Structure 1
Amino acid sequence: MKRFCLVLLFIPALLRAQPGSRLQEFPLQQVKLLPGIFKEQELTDLYYILQLNADKLLAPFRREAGLPKKSESYGNWENSGLDGHIAGHYLSALAMMYANTNDKRILERLNYTIAELKICQDKNGDGYLGGVPGSRGLWAEVHKGNFDTFNKRWVPFYNVHKVFAGLRDAYLYNGNQTAKAMLIKLADWFTGISTVLTPEQMQKLLQNEHGGVNEVLADVYSITGNKKYLDAAYSFSQLAILQPLEKDQDKLDNLHANTQIPKIIGFKRIADLGNDSSYNHAAKFFWETVVKHRSVATGGNSVREHFNPSADFSSMVSSVEGPETCNTYNMLKLTEQLYFSDPKGLYMDYYERALYNHILTTQRPGKGGFVYFTPMRPGHYRVYSQPQTSMWCCVGSGMENHAKYAKMIYSHSADALFVNLFIPSQLNWNEKGLALTQLTSFPESNTTQLKINKVAKSDFSLNIRYPAWVKPGSLTVRINGVIQKVKPAASSYIALKRKWRKGDLITISLPMQTTIEKLPDGSNYEAVLRGPIVLASVIDTANEQGLNADDSRMGHVAGGELYKITDMPAFVSDADNDASQIGVDNNAPLTFTAQNLIYPDKYKKLKLVPFYKIHEARYVVYWRKESKQNFAALQAKLADEDAKVAELAAKTIDAINTGEQQPESDHFMESERAFSGVNFNRHWRAANGWFSYLLTDKKHEAKKLSITYYSKERNHRFSVFINDKELAKVDLQNGKQDEFFTEVYTLPGDIKYTDNQSFRIKIVAESGAVAGPVYEVRLLKD
């Protein structure tokens, strides 16, 4: 028998791609998922996509192009200001799903959608393509440097960016030449704005959320080689975010999280194409900051869509609006870019963590439906979208998330294959004539096998990721049954070099251990992980109001009863590390017990299972940790606080966290000479003119209106109106010194409701005075 020489090389965690050796992703057509949890989710997504009506998604584009109506548009976010944004995500999802599955129904939808959008773009005549209400007048004003109308619309650039990215994806994933031509025309339209406005005007314009316009413009430069698009990408980069990051300054507290992440993706793309070290540094520092200091165990981040203070995660535990799916969708896109230019194991460690514990969990298996917020509040639950009623941003990104699982399983350089994720799949590396199958039931087993089915050019290195969650020295590799020597270093890659033959079988053992992980601020809440998998427990399935979302503006929020945190199970232990108290339940895979830790007694028999298996249920991901001595006293204190929170929640019909982007959008804010800020980590809204919100009271139960202010303020005099009828005069000179306080106003009995469910509250400044600051508005039953 001919002997084959095997050389084992260690690739350190600081492995760097040299110029010309940057890693590449495989075309999605070359990687196919095999049966398993990811394939099931891909097929569920495919079914959801097929339930959508393309003509309804395209209706805003026809309207803005002045074309005859083919269909009414969808409701929800699609007819209340963000008209057309889902169609862009739809294009991207169709492009990736067809590349993955070769399903002809998907191709038909893709071709139809592009053809119909082309009709709209041609009718517009200037390259513009979008469903933003009042597009023609809006963009004419922007070209003149007048941004008043622009700032009153719901994130216009963010909206148009979605179809911009969709056209790019249709070309990159499927080679659609019509999409490419349309993409370049839309890029020319964006470039036209950046060239007619001054740099100062552009920076002012970019104060409004604009998605990843700079990223796609950079991509168009890559596609065409025309530097004007890279110049435009620079013009669409916000310096107020870039410059602190370049200096290693974390100034992200209280910023709207997902507004920032796409900008950073653009910074990284510009850095790679323009060889810009400062932009590259900013992107890396942002990633490190968010991953290490602002993300929870699942890989997600944000509370009510904002970066909570990095030193205080208390709102993460108390809020029902926990990590947003769109944020992790974008963090994974940024991680991909960082990895391809600098393939460190730590990037894939995060990618794997977020993929299994957040993205995978945000689609209900089999039934379908996407999740917006994933609460970390113990005892709460999640809401699932419905194809005909729910048109949130996380529905758009959700369609993409589950169509791209094959994207990062493998990557390659000219002469090396990298195995990044342990997911059952088939790879065809056409350039090497290599066909490879990965067989695994990971994470329910701790092994994976790679089988060489065909190989023409055998002179390549096979690089296996050594995850951070595997102890140094415990990973093992066998080739055709023969154990190999592996250097004991985690969060890196092991390079296997030999003359590969058809039939070679590589078996990798990845021993998992149980670990405990605290919140990033070090507070007394901890999550349990097995390897990279977050474990959680089901509390019950009761009182899950709005589990299947309706078409209301706030339908994406789980608004059901708040369980008192003090009634939820906690870990009570004097140990520094509770991992040893987590036992294995041998009756089911990846199932664990913690009866020696959990209190009260009624919860001691709870099972800990992978969070991705929990759906349509109330759950606990983060366990409050107390010492035995302090538990009783702290329970009494927290119970009193909890009771007040629960009582207020039971009385609340609608509430607005003023100054926060999405809550204000959800309540249709209108304003004149208004401004916002943050004080003691609470957002506020004020005005030299006025600001207003639409409050919803479907059952006409409202009796009181509460408004929260802060401290005494000179010359802060204003009136509160209900439907233009004065409810109260306010002078903050009469406020409470140096503390937050809440005033409660009795509502008139003759409120007139819009659509029989809503009315408008308006805060109006006296002449020469200031209205607010207002920190919260709450509509109460009593």
Structure 2
Amino acid sequence: MQFFPATAVRLDGGAFADAVRTDLAYVRALDPDRLLAPFLTEAGLPPRAPGYPSWESEGLGGQTGGHYLSALSHLWAATGEHDLRARLEYMLDELARAQDAVGTGYVGGVPDGADVFAAVGSEGLPAALAFGQSPNWVPWYNLHKTFHGLLDAYSVAGIDRALDIVTRLADWWLAIAADVDDEAFETMLATEFGGMNEVFSRLAELTGRDEDAAMALRFSHRAILDPLLEGRDALTGLHANTQIPKAVGYAISPDDSIRAAADVFWRTVVDRRSTAIGGNSVREHFHALDDFSPMIEDREGPETCNTYNMLRLTRALAERELRPEHLDYAERALFNHVLSAQHPEHGGFVYFTPMRPRHYRVYSTVDECFWCCVGSGIENQARHGEWVFGVEDGALAVNLFVPATLDAPSFGGRVRIETGFPADDSVAVVLDLDAPRAFALRLRVPEWAPGLSDLAVDGEPLAGDAIPGAVVLDREWQPGARVTFRVPLTPRAEAMPDGSPWRAFLAGPIVLAARSSEDGLLGLEGDDERWSHIARGELLPLAGVPIVTEAAATELLTETAPLRYQLQTDAGDVELEPFAGIHDARYTVYWPVASDSDARRAELQEQDAALEVDAATLDRVSFGEQQPESDHAFEGPDSWIVSDGDRHARATRDRIAVTLRNPDGAGRTLRLGLVQSAEPTRLAVRVDGELVAFESFDAGEAEVELDVALGDAGRGEVVRLELSGAEGRSTPGIRSVRLLR
């Protein structure tokens, strides 16, 4: 499908238009000079304003600036607002100034970035092995945002000099990479690198240069690509949003087999790893396919960045070869996860959307929070209009039922969608043509709908030609022709992909949820603290969630108003409403299901056993998981990761260290989750440099939980924990550490 550019589409009202306006206000509140500060600093130039806090000052300086280039480009295309283009031009002026000051073509906000990348060329494998260590965090992931933003400034906003800047940046890397052998290059790719294969493929299309296409292939990461080429899902235990951008690059590859690998990835994630809202992952990682219990139990549910990139992957695949399920997924993700991930009033963005019943989301604040999901969020909310219309097999396609107007001179005029969908299932497509015109109109039929009801043209009923996922009307159209139909939103239930006894309820594509308490919403609006994107408030017991019988959704749900239902449960009727509209409150999307509610509640009480420990936890690190480690200032250059499916641990013969939050110095005990090794191991535990425990472990494979009393150590607001081997022995595998009251 060829989607119409955002410059040709205007949203005429409704939730998507509101989201664009809210995003516009958030983006306008950001100071370009503060976003540019890391770029100018790295170029040796004085910044015009201090940089922003949060991730922008903690190793990811510049990543938001790259997203900002993309957001300005897409918002300008979606709205035509002149000040957005002026900001974009200013950003490009300053980036070009920084690039000229460096003199090599490099421009970026990565701390000591030029030296970090150059070391890979001059030192090879040792530098690749150390790539991304603090304070650099994930250098390529960061720099990818600059590449991507510059390409959007050219391709979306049409500013020619953006292509010159990004081409010079690419040339800088091509020169370094010429001295990097394949082993070192592939080793470097073990650290998250965004969609560098995608940006070099995009650049190759624009420049026609073979060296850009060859670099896209080098960035393909064989460790991920090869299983996909074999049709295998080897994603369990991997950091989800590290992998999804790679698949976007695979989808636009000129190689048929690599594009097929992208399709394998998409089907795997959408069909087997995604929740009702279209989101995936727990604590940013793909968990086991046959066990979605972490999705129900954890406070760190689907990450918004994942869905942002899954939508980009969906679009790339649809542009090559459309399948009906591409638009079904896009509709699900946009109406549920994306819309819900922006606060409708202050515009704050959501990082994690917990699927745990009766938990809540946290929102960013404009001057303090610069998480990855803020950067992708300011792009995401700008791009709704791009999905509405397209051209497929020569037909003008209506893809989403959204109030919008398309300027389509190639079809003889303008096309307007009038609808109150999803609250109202009636849709009208009005053809404001300049003269009679013959063409095919393709109306999408969603997978959740049995068909389009009451289809008519100017009041005259007709059937049209049914094809997979659509109805096509091919005729000569008169100016002002009005095509009307209904898309009834039948209630339905969806199980978790693993078949476990949890159900979500939907009306058409709209996920329904129950709004519950507004109590205990700790940290509802984030600040510049490293962990403020996590909803750290109390986890409420699963045993307190009402239980639903195993009956059909039409038997359990009673409609009380448009998109408002009463759900029958063992605790009485519960009111359901669209999930995307619930903010500043706890909510429940998934409901426990059982024929025997007493037995089911006993099972839930067993799941609640961990709540006492969670309530006593001041801070926690899961080792071998990227974000928890980086959030806690992890150090461990001579350590390695031990994986067992979706469970990870770290071990070292030297030392690993993390910083733990210790509010009011209340920590009294460290609880270490360990896995023994096939060889005897040793573990020394130091807190703020003081030895608090030394343990010896015999060979074995058992899981061990070790509690260490702090005594007089670790009384500050933060503590530095160091775990080391001794006597020539490595540590056991260290899965996690909790600091307990």
Aligned residues of 2:465 and 2:473 also touching (Cα < 8 A): no
Q: CA 1:574/1:50 → structure 2, altered by over 3 Å: closer, same or farther?
A: closer
Give 1:494's aligned amino acid: V
Give 1:599's aligned amino acid: D
Aligned residues of 1:432 and 1:456 also touching (Cα < 8 A): no
Instruction: Choose the corresponding residue for 1:229, options 212, 218, 221.
Output: 212
Deviation at residue 41 of structure 1 after TM alignment: 0.8
Q: Tell whether 2:525 aligns with 1:548.
A: yes
Aligned residues of 1:432 and 1:455 also touching (Cα < 8 A): no
Distance 1:574 1:499 in 2: 50
Q: Tell whether 2:89 aligns with 1:111.
A: yes
Distance 1:638 1:430 in 2: 59
Residue pairs, 1:180-191, within 5 angstroms: 180-191=163-174
Q: Tell whether 2:5 aligns with 1:27.
A: yes
Aligned residues of 2:352 and 2:361 also touching (Cα < 8 A): yes
Q: Tell whether 2:570 aligns with 1:599.
A: yes
Secondary structure (helix, strand or coil) at the match of 2:483 reads strand
Partner deviation per Cα, 1:415-439 (whole Å, 9 max, x = no partner) = 3211111110000013333211111
Counterpart position of 2:586 = 618
Counterpart position of 1:742 = 705
Deviation at residue 739 of structure 1 after TM alignment: 4.1
Deviation at residue 238 of structure 1 after TM alignment: 0.2
Distance 1:609 1:437 in 2: 28
Counterpart position of 1:141 = 119
Structure 1 gap segments, 5+ residues each: 1-22
Calculate the TM-score normalised by the size of structure 1: 0.92
Deviation at residue 660 of structure 1 after TM alignment: 0.6
Deviation at residue 191 of structure 1 after TM alignment: 2.3
Q: Tell whether 2:306 aligns with 1:333.
A: no
Instruction: Choose the corresponding residue for 1:697, options 662, 680, 683.
Output: 662
Counterpart position of 1:8 = none
Counterpart position of 1:503 = 480
Instruction: Choose the corresponding residue for 2:383, options 404, 414, 427.
Output: 404
Q: Tell whether 2:295 aligns with 1:298.
A: no
Instruction: Choose the corresponding residue for 2:427, options 444, 448, 454.
Output: 448
Q: CA 1:76/1:700 → structure 2, altered by over 3 Å: closer, same or farther?
A: same
Give 1:365's aligned amino acid: P
Distance 2:423 2:279 in 1: 23
Counterpart position of 1:18 = none
Aligned residues of 1:65 and 1:123 also touching (Cα < 8 A): yes
Structure 2 gap segments, 5+ residues each: none
Counterpart position of 1:633 = 599
Partner deviation per Cα, 1:78-109 (whole Å, 9 max, x = no partner) = 11111110000011000000111111221221
Partner deviation per Cα, 1:688-738 (whole Å, 9 max, x = no partner) = 22211111113111111110112465321121111222111122218xx65
Aligned residues of 1:723 and 1:752 also touching (Cα < 8 A): no
Counterpart position of 1:323 = 302
Instruction: Choose the corresponding residue for 1:374, options 345, 350, 353.
Output: 353
Distance 1:108 1:487 in 2: 47
RMSD: 1.6
Counterpart position of 1:525 = 502
Q: CA 1:311/1:750 → structure 2, altered by over 3 Å: closer, same or farther?
A: closer
Deviation at residue 527 of structure 1 after TM alignment: 0.4
Q: Which moved more, 1:653-662 or 1:720-729?
A: 720-729
Calculate the TM-score normalised by the size of structure 2: 0.97
Secondary structure (helix, strand or coil) at the match of 2:252 reads helix
Secondary structure (helix, strand or coil) at the match of 2:358 reads coil
Deviation at residue 139 of structure 1 after TM alignment: 2.0
Counterpart position of 1:771 = 731
Distance 2:118 2:131 in 1: 10
Give 1:592's aligned amino acid: Y
Instruction: Choose the corresponding residue for 1:198, options 163, 181, 199.
Output: 181
Aligned residues of 1:658 and 1:683 also touching (Cα < 8 A): yes
Q: CA 1:574/1:304 → structure 2, altered by over 3 Å: closer, same or farther?
A: closer
Instruction: Choose the corresponding residue for 1:662, options 622, 627, 632.
Output: 627
Counterpart position of 2:401 = 422
Partner deviation per Cα, 1:390-422 (whole Å, 9 max, x = no partner) = 000000000001101101101125832111111
Q: Tell whether 2:421 aligns with 1:471.
A: no
Secondary structure (helix, strand or coil) at the match of 1:175 reads coil
Q: CA 1:79/1:358 → structure 2, altered by over 3 Å: closer, same or farther?
A: same
Q: Tell whether 2:405 aligns with 1:431.
A: no
Distance 1:696 1:164 in 2: 35
Give 1:624's aligned amino acid: P
Counterpart position of 1:387 = 366
Distance 2:214 2:435 in 1: 43
Secondary structure (helix, strand or coil) at the match of 1:337 reads helix
Q: CA 1:768/1:526 → structure 2, altered by over 3 Å: closer, same or farther?
A: same
Q: Which runs of 4+ in 1 moved over 3 A?
A: 486-489, 750-753
Counterpart position of 2:132 = 151
Partner deviation per Cα, 1:453-504 (whole Å, 9 max, x = no partner) = 12457232111111111115x5442111111124566x51222111112110
Distance 1:634 1:77 in 2: 43
Q: CA 1:652/1:261 → structure 2, altered by over 3 Å: closer, same or farther?
A: same
Distance 2:108 2:663 in 1: 33
Q: CA 1:680/1:178 → structure 2, altered by over 3 Å: closer, same or farther?
A: closer
Q: Tell whether 2:242 aligns with 1:267.
A: no
How many pairs were matched up? Answer: 736
Deviation at residue 56 of structure 1 after TM alignment: 1.0
Partner deviation per Cα, 1:257-280 (whole Å, 9 max, x = no partner) = 00000001001111xxx2x11101
Distance 1:751 1:540 in 2: 36
Distance 1:680 1:218 in 2: 32
Distance 2:662 2:280 in 1: 31
Q: Which moved more, 1:710-719 or 1:342-351?
A: 710-719
Aligned residues of 2:665 and 2:714 also touching (Cα < 8 A): no
Distance 1:680 1:54 in 2: 43
Instruction: Choose the corresponding residue for 1:651, options 616, 621, 628.
Output: 616
Distance 2:669 2:550 in 1: 46
